[in-house]
Amino acid sequence: MVYPIVMYGDPVLRKKAKEIVKGEMDVKAFAQDMFETMEAASGIGLAAPQIGKSIRFFVVDASALEEQPELKDFKKVFINPTILKEEGNEWDFEEGCLSIPNIREDVWRKEKLRIHYFDEEWVEHEEEFDGMKARIIQHEYDHIEGKLFIDYLTPLKKKMLKGKLTDISKGDVDTEYRILAPLRK
Ligand code: NI
């Protein structure tokens, strides 16, 4: 099932999401919905709050980024993740977000991380990721902490984006996917 994507301004994007208790929901079916929704929006990552569910769950699939062959198999489900450590030099990259369409800005992030999580079979993992994989995880992990990539911008940059962000909250934005805008009348 493809869900509409929640737009900037919805309080669900600002909540710290809750841990999932094993057995309380069908995580495999939910993962399927998340992948379908992400694919319909041509995203490479999607966190549960972006479809209105405040739970610690996100998916990534960067296998379509052909110019980066190391991402070929990077399709994963992260349940109840915890970033244990981030290290290395900070590097910048232009990020975007399905909840903040048509805005892309440089964000600085550390190059490496170690993360503990469960997959959709409830198998426990502790793994290290770096480069683009780490960045995608950091961006999605921020979502379940109630954080957005625009939070990293300077006050001036944020001020310059204010009008666009208001338009997004009103649903006054062009997307090729279905959206749910908090201020739409
Ligand atoms: Ni995002």
pLDDT in tens, 75-124: 999 999 999 999 999 999 999 999 999 999 999 999 999 999 999 999 99
C-alpha to C-alpha distance for 27 and 142, rounded to whole angstroms? 20
Model confidence band, residue 156 (pLDDT cutoffs 50, 70, 90): very high
What's the whole-number mean pLDDT along residues 144-171?
97
Instruction: Report CA(151)–ligand 1 centroid distance (Å).
Output: 12
C-alpha to C-alpha distance for 47 and 27, rounded to whole angstroms? 13
Cβ pair 9, 22 in contact under 8 A: no
Averaged confidence pLDDT in the chain: 96
Question: What are 4-27's pLDDT values in tens digits?
Answer: 999 999 999 999 999 999 999 999
* Record: fold of 5-180: Peptide Deformylase (3.90.45)
| Range from 60-64, 117-121, 140-144 carrying the lowest mean pLDDT | 60-64
User: Residue 67 has what pLDDT?
Assistant: 78
Across the chain, the runs of DSSP E, i.e. the strands, are: 5-6, 45-47, 57-61, 75-97, 100-118, 124-130, 179-180
- Report the candidate in 92, 111, 86 with the shortest Cα–Cα distance to residue 149: 92
User: Residue 69 has what pLDDT?
Assistant: 81
Whose tokens are 């190059």? That residue is 111
Question: Percent of the chain, pLDDT > 70?
Answer: 100
Residue 34's identity, in one-letter code, is: M
> Under DSSP, is residue 37 helix (H, G, I), strand (E, B) or coil?
helix
Instruction: Report CA(125)–ligand 1 centroid distance (Å).
Output: 23
What residues are annotated to the active site?
Answer: 140
| Range from 35-44, 62-71, 132-141 carrying the lowest mean pLDDT | 62-71
Q: Which two tokens stand for residue 183?
A: 């201020």
Question: What are 28-45's pLDDT values in tens digits?
Answer: 999 999 999 999 999 999
Q: Which two tokens stand for residue 19?
A: 């841990």
pLDDT exceeds 80 at position 73: yes
Instruction: Report CA(49)–ligand 1 centroid distance (Å).
Output: 10
In angstroms, how far is CA 154 from the centroid of its own chain? 21
Q: Is this model's pTM higher than 0.75 or not?
A: yes
User: Residue 63 has what pLDDT?
Assistant: 85
Instruction: Report CA(146)–ligand 1 centroid distance (Å).
Output: 11
- Report the candidate in 30, 79, 74 with the shortest Cα–Cα distance to residue 52: 30
pLDDT exceeds 80 at position 66: no
Give, as one character, the DSSP assignment of residue 24: S
Residue 4's identity, in one-letter code, is: P
Q: Which residues lie at CB < 5 A from ion ligand 1?
A: 97
Instruction: Report CA(143)–ligand 1 centroid distance (Å).
Output: 7
Model confidence band, residue 70 (pLDDT cutoffs 50, 70, 90): confident
In angstroms, how far is CA 181 from the centroid of its own chain? 17
